[in-house]
Amino acid sequence: MTYPISRRSFGLSLSAVAATAVAPQAFAQPGFPSKPVTLIVPNAPGGAIDILARSLQLHLQSVWGQSVIVEYKPGAGTALGTDFASKAAPDGHTLCLVATPHVINPAMRQLPFDTVKDLSGITILGTSNVLISATSAYPANTLKDAVDLIKKNPTKFAYASPGSGSSMHFAMELLKQRAGIELLHAPFKGSGPAYPEVFSGRIDFLVDPLFSSLPHVKSGKLKPIAVTGPRRSPLAPEIPTVAELYPGFNVQSMFGMVVASGTPRAVVQKIYADLITVLKKPEVIEKMAALGLEPNPITPEQFDVTIKEDIERWTKLVKSANIKLD
């Protein structure tokens, strides 16, 4: 949190009076940014979040007239880089990109920082839909028929995900609760090795980003069942949503930006406003579309609320479904 200067204990000494006398000069803040900005990527180079970071880097440098330095700090399921950002000087000059693990990690394990108290949200940059698909030979074609079939054979079917603790894993576990079904979870280290298992029919379902699965849907190797977002995706408007059968269902992959808590609100608001400008640029929209991302900005205050609510939602799911990391 940002505490006003009046809450600091200066006492009534002459030195305090002197400090107050020079406060306009001592505490005057230059325009942001006043020096190069570091953009933390808490993942290894090469993924979607890295590509997004490079696009933002280019355009924010143009807006700010300052260098933006992308720094990679992968490890601990993104917690290493986020921890670094949480402990940076709260002046807005160290930013951190985050993805869905930002709200899932606190529900799964102890972290060296408090996601809600030690970091402030700036905005959601974009979201992507998750697709539940099935092997092409699966006998059901709709979510309702698939659920009915699973209920008749409660121990027969399994689904593959890119790993425990991913948004794809949580989407399916939430669906299991809403639908009242049982499905074996087959977590993989990334989605790459999961695809052949579903293509061959050894595993019945796959849960992965729509953007990644869509080429295999078009080739006939996968049968689309439903997307997990709140509305149909413009990438494949013919695929229904889970929410059409279970109202209110909404699980998406998220990319956002955060900063150390205590950063002046005026700085947070400026970063947010400048990001909105960047996100409206056609070349940024095109780059995000190539990653399967839809720009979906919300205000810093809304993002803080969303982070808190998502952590609470996933913590409840972890406890009720007894989800554990592999």
How is residue 46 written in tokens? 């090469």
253/104 Cα distance (integer angstroms): 11
Pick the closest to residue 259 from 67, 111, 91, 126 (CA basis). Answer: 91
Domains and CATH numbers, the chain: 5-127+253-320 (3.40.190.150), 130-251 (3.40.190.10)
DSSP structure string for 115-177: TTTSEEEEEEEEEE-EEEEEETT-S--SHHHHHHHHHHSTTT-EEEES-TTSHHHHHHHHHHH
Q: C-alpha distances in angstroms, 320 versus 28, 137, 176?
A: 50, 33, 12
Contact yes or no for 131/209 (Cβ under 8 A): yes
Q: How far apart are the first and last CA of the chain?
A: 35
* One pLDDT digit (tens) per residue for the chain, 326 residues: 332 223 233 232 223 323 333 333 333 345 899 999 999 999 999 888 999 999 999 999 999 999 999 999 999 889 999 999 999 999 999 999 999 999 999 999 999 999 999 999 999 999 999 999 999 999 999 999 999 999 999 889 999 999 988 899 999 999 999 999 999 999 998 899 999 999 999 999 999 999 999 999 999 999 999 999 999 999 999 999 999 999 999 999 999 999 999 999 999 999 999 999 999 999 999 999 989 899 989 999 999 999 999 999 999 999 998 887 76
Contact yes or no for 38/95 (Cβ under 8 A): yes
> Residue written as tokens 């990109």?
97
What is the pTM for the complete model shown?
0.85
* Cα radius of gyration (the chain): 22
173/272 Cα distance (integer angstroms): 33
Q: What strands lie across the sheet with 294-295, from one edge to the other? A: 68-72, 37-41, 94-99, 253-260, 119-128, 294-295
